[in-house]
Structure 1
């Protein structure tokens, strides 16, 4: 009989995953405070640029380059990553962090629901649509900047593309593909940030803040997520990651003083529940298939 896992074996990866989410959203909050200095595009260039340097130093992909057939997927993956970051930060100029994350979360939700066939899958789709409808500036919904909401939706679309192309790019090796993809992302967004900000982007104080944002938003949370992913069952990992919009809202309240209306809070709750539900539903084995395997 296998030994029961110690409580710390479960608690530590859960704490690591939650800490990673708090780190990402703290980085986003710090980035938002830097907008008046270098703008959203400038902050994006700093975050992605420093993240690329950190990942390249860690993985050193030049030691074993990708196959020619993988280059296209890596370029598309990196372009989606860069545009996702840029559109998300542009959205943060006019809408609260928690709402931006919730709207952006529709991207991975769409990927997860792409193969929906069962009735319960469509129930989760309905719940996600309800949450999105409560957030978007439609009809008598609470006032939300339409441009910011559209940019967050665009970031969600890029997140979906990032997942699809990332799966293909992963054939080149996870860490190496991520580092090369981040390099492509930097090439995509850096010209936009430099054009908007000019030499102000390279002052010591701005560079130092950009480095902190990159560590909080990329290096630290990715490391914590990897620690958790290797120690938690995939369904548990997915459900916990579904909490990210709620974590973003709480972090924004604590660091930026952004308060949501009850309707907006309920909308985020709908999206969190839909994401957790589709994660669990997608991991549930098919009963007939299990019975066939057992009979075999």
Structure 2
């Protein structure tokens, strides 16, 4: 019989897999609405659910934000909006599996650029090979779709770096929630103009809300359960399976069939991501402890007391976490500068920590 600790970890591993499955299936069901409302309309529907949800969780105190904090929030929100719009436009053109696999290159690149370890150089070669397989030999006839997927990847990586700076200046999820509100202000009007009255159709609303709940509400709840029971390395390694889950969701829900070289590319990205995560976790120079001793998104430490999100992760364009302080070693020299410059002088450290 399994011990209670082993059983708990097994349930946590299952929760991470279910979280990724829920997100990708939600994205796939959202893609079913493309003919009716377009990619921007789907993003607008998701933002209508995601932004209020994250605002309720983060409860940002806008009156206490400083000008430098507002500037970073605006940049982060714009990056998140661009990421969401570009990703779903790419899904519309090249399919869910290919788009998500390419998008995964964003956080992976952020992690690899901050490292000089040999294993990470091998991971970079693997990721480069995956790009060649996806773009050069996949027979994909939509260059614009590939460009949009790479744009989503760049915006995901940028979001991680920006939120690494913001999460030190602002405690908890305040900064991420405020940035999501900014993203919604960009995406909802664009989607409403593009989709028009189709967004008011009750059938479309029903599917859209269901897809948004699958992708933006259920995953954070499952991850909250998982991060309390798993180490950062284990959590990140399991999350490296997400491109494969996306490809399977596209196959089952949307009937998208990847070729053999594309499946090899997906496997290379998953393997490179998992290896980079484990390499960072085992590095004696990598600071795995969160500055405030807890996860900036959920406020919960992992079972080993470290930051629960691996350096290459932070998922959903809607509610996916982008607040990984450990995401980029390269961002660390600027973190303290932003924190010191943006922190009000008329508040004590305890008052600031309390939000």
Confirm whether residue 172 of structure 1 aligns to residue 161 of structure 2: no
Q: Shift in Å at residue 131 of structure 1?
A: 0.8
Within the candidate set 206, 216, 219, 1:218 is matched to 216
Q: Provide Cα deviations, 1:184-242, integer angstroms capped at 9, x if missing partner.
A: 11111122112211222233332332222221111111221232122210011111111
User: 1:48·1:82 contact (CA, 8 Å) conserved in 2?
Assistant: no
SS in 1 for 2:32: helix
Between the two structures, name the one with larger relative contact order (CA 8 Å, sep ≥ 6): 1
- TM-score of the aligned structures, taking structure 1 as reference length: 0.89
Give 1:254 deviation, angstroms.
1.6
Note closer, same or farther for the CA distance 1:229–1:146 as it changes in structure 2 (3 Å cut): same
Runs of 4+ in structure 1 displaced over 4 angstroms?
Answer: 62-65
What residue in structure 2 maps to residue 162 of structure 1? 159
Question: Could you tell me which residue of structure 1 aligns to residue 262 of structure 2?
Answer: 264
- Shift of residue 62, structure 1, vs aligned partner: 4.3
Q: What is residue 293 of structure 1 aligned with on the other side? A: none
Residues 202 and 125 of structure 1: CA distance in aligned 2, closer, same or farther (over 3 Å): same
Q: 1:243 offset after TM fit, Å?
A: 0.6
The residue that corresponds to 2:10 in the other structure is 11
Contact 1:45 1:190 in 2 (8 A): yes
Greater helix share, structure number? 1
Partner of 1:132: 131
Label 1:110 to 1:210 Cα distance change in 2 as closer, same or farther (>3 A). Answer: same
Match of 1:292 in 2: none
SS of corresponding position for 2:93: coil
> Do 2:50 and 2:217's aligned partners in 1 also have CA atoms closer than 8 Å?
yes
Structure 1 residue 19: Cα displacement: 0.6
Separation in 1, partners of 2:177, 2:209: 16
Distance 2:161 2:30 in 1: 27
Give the aligned partner of residue 55 of structure 2. 56
Task: Say which is worse superposed, 247-256 or 173-182, in terms of deviation.
Answer: 173-182
User: In the alignment, which residue of structure 1 is the partner of 2:246?
Assistant: 248
The Cα offsets for residues 90-131 of structure 1, whole Å up to 9 and x where unpaired, read as: 001121211111100000011001122122221110011001
How big is the shift at 1:64?
7.1
**Which residue number in structure 2 is paired with residue 202 of structure 1?**
200
- Answering whether residue 150 of structure 2 is matched by residue 153 of structure 1, we say yes
In the alignment, what sits opposite 1:280?
Answer: 278
Cα distance in 1 between the residues matched to 2:215 and 2:194 = 22
Aligned partners of 1:240, 1:97: CA distance in 2, in Å?
A: 19
Q: Does the residue aligned with 2:94 lie in a helix, a strand or coil?
A: coil
Q: Which moved more, 1:178-187 or 1:99-108?
A: 178-187
Answer with 121-130 or 277-286: which moved more: 277-286
Task: With the length of structure 2 as denominator, give the TM-score of the two structures.
Answer: 0.75
Q: Which runs of 5+ in 1 are unaligned?
A: 288-296
Are positions 1:98 and 2:97 aligned together? yes
Which moves more between the two structures, 16-25 or 56-65?
A: 56-65
Q: Flag structure 2 segments of 5+ consecutive residues without an equivalent.
A: 286-355
CA apart distance, 1:55: 2.1
Is 1:49–1:183's contact at 8 Å kept on the other side of the alignment? Answer: no
Match of 2:139 in 1: 142
